[in-house]
Amino acid sequence: MTKKVLVAEKLADAGVAVLRDKGFEVDVKLDMAPEELIATIPGYDALIVRSATKVTREVIEAGKKLRIIGRAGVGVDNVDVDAATDCGVIVCNAPTSNIVSAAEHTMALMLACARHVAQANASMHAGKWERGQFTGVELYEKTLAIFGLGRIGGLVAERARAFGMKLIGYDPYCSPERAEQLGVTLYDDVDAIVPLADFITVHLPKTKETIGMFGPEQYARMKDGVILVNAARGGIYNVDSLADFLAAGKIGAVGLDVYESEPCTESPLHEFSNAILTPHLGASTKEAQLRAGVQTAEYVAAGLAGSIVPTAVNMAPVPPEVMDAVGPYVPACQMMGSMLAQIHGEVPQYLKLTAAGALAGADPSILVAGTVKGLLSYQGRATVTPVNADAVAKRHGIKVETQARPDADGYASTVSVMADGTEVACTLGDAAQHARLTSLLGYKIDIAPGRESLIFEYVDAPGRIGVIGTILGEEGINITTMQIGAKPEEQHALVYVNVEGEVTDTVLANLRAGVTNLKNLWHVKL
């Protein structure tokens, strides 16, 4: 059944096209009231929003089919991430989509404050020519204090350095090496850094620690005429006391793009001409909107396909090098899990995953999640995502173990899974990274599994393959590829056959009756 995606806010056309090109049914329904969203979401597998739509617990719990929520932007403040995690729903964002736009808007606010751009523009539009009223200050050789040296803060540092500014910064998570690379002198005390700055810009998340981080005590310690900028999150500057210091002339100007409550149509700063206020425009560039739409669509598509979602905020982050190594194996593990479910028949009590060769040093957790998803999602035993894989496994009484092995039996890397003694292993066998089975039930084979397969295990003897081919041919079933594995010491053989055509119960009964000394026959659909 085609998976459905609900786009609840304006998304770049290119993002919608990505989803449709991948075969998803996409409905764009804008400006829905909360109760309308709750009534609509049960029919969808994925939801994409921007910043306006509130994805509450009620919405998430109503979305019985919901697997992933994509936020086309950086923050996820409007999504109840805890509720999503409880329901096994992945929440992802596009954290790099607007970083250039946000950094450039920061510089625009800084320059507008320094050169009185907005005030001079308003004067000109009023028919005046008041050059003497708008004498500004240069950025050159001024000291800029950057609070938060993550992606956006780092880009601001690069741009400010090009203006010849002296850079100082505060970020307890920034390494000395990164600060040195950015040309920033690090400080570990907020009170020590604020008196040194001619300009201050903040690039911090909205947390208990950062809300109200700058208040009367900090403003009082600042240089006279300091210029403050915030294009990150509202509430980091205490606006009420900021207005007082702005009125007193202690603070020379302020440039804000974000507010504690949005939309913000009135505040203590609205009366000041030297408060440059913009309506949350940091991400509002054509380029950022395009990147956000496309990136979010790609991540949502990956989540619906059971692959890694690198920006998922409610699961352990996957470093790029780990994603490059293990990511292609996630669909393969899901395939092996589904195969084990069909061969084993029951939910196993013990699951062991072994990563070998080049995968030996990688974190296997997402491989386990893919395997459990395939194992339990088959026949609807459970809905599994990387978010809830551990919890679902425990709920079904499955003990999971992992191990690493440097030797991959001649392959660059393999993943093998053992479920209560039933074993399957695979590698990625070509440039397109298609999975190939390397072992099944202890038999060495080398075959790419098709959508529909028959697996025979019998006492080895001449003529068995001919009988299988004859019966299938008489039923109008075509063999596309076949692989034979043997255990000479046990005189047993395993035949893996990819087929095209309808394999009915009658066909299976004829095979069981016609193949002499048949031990097992499985019909596997992937």
| Type of residue found at 519 | K
Q: What is the DSSP letter of 348?
A: -
Residues 6+ apart with CB under 8 A from 342: 378, 522, 523, 524, 525
Q: Contacts from 98-101 at CB under 8 Å and sequence distance 24+?
A: 98/73, 98/74, 98/282, 98/283, 98/285, 98/288, 98/291, 98/292, 99/74, 99/151, 99/152, 99/155, 100/155, 100/287, 100/288, 101/282, 101/283, 101/284, 101/285, 101/287, 101/288
The residues carrying an active-site annotation are 233, 262, 280
Start-end of H helices in 314-406: 320-326, 329-344, 365-377, 389-395
Q: How many CB atoms lie within 10 A of CB 416?
A: 21
Helices and strands (H, E) in the chain, number of each type: 18, 22
Query: Do the beta carbons of residue 494 and residue 521 sit within 8 Å?
Result: no
Sign of CA dihedral 461, 466, 472, 474: negative
**Beta pairing, strands 275-277 & 251-256:** parallel
Dist CA 150 CA 501 (whole Å): 56
Query: Do the beta carbons of residue 516 and residue 464 sit within 8 Å?
Result: yes
Residues 6+ apart with CB under 8 A from 203: 106, 146, 147, 148, 149, 150, 152, 153, 156, 231, 232
| Type of residue found at 392 | V
Q: How far is CA 222 from CA 146, 231, 256, in A?
A: 14, 20, 18
Q: How many CB atoms lie within 10 A of CB 303?
A: 25
Dist CA 230 CA 236 (whole Å): 8
366 φ, ψ (degrees, to nearest 5): -75, -25
Dist CA 525 CA 449 (whole Å): 10
Q: How many CB atoms lie within 10 A of CB 254?
A: 25
The answer for 254, left when phi > 0, alpha when psi is -120 to 50, beta otherwise, is: beta
Q: Per-residue b/e over 101-139, b at no fewer than 16 CB within 10 Å? A: bbbbbbbbbbebbbbbbbbbeebeeeeeeeeeeeeebeb
Q: How far is CA 414 from CA 126, 350, 407, in A?
A: 73, 20, 9
In which element (H, E) is residue 7 found? strand 4-7
Dist CA 120 CA 129 (whole Å): 9
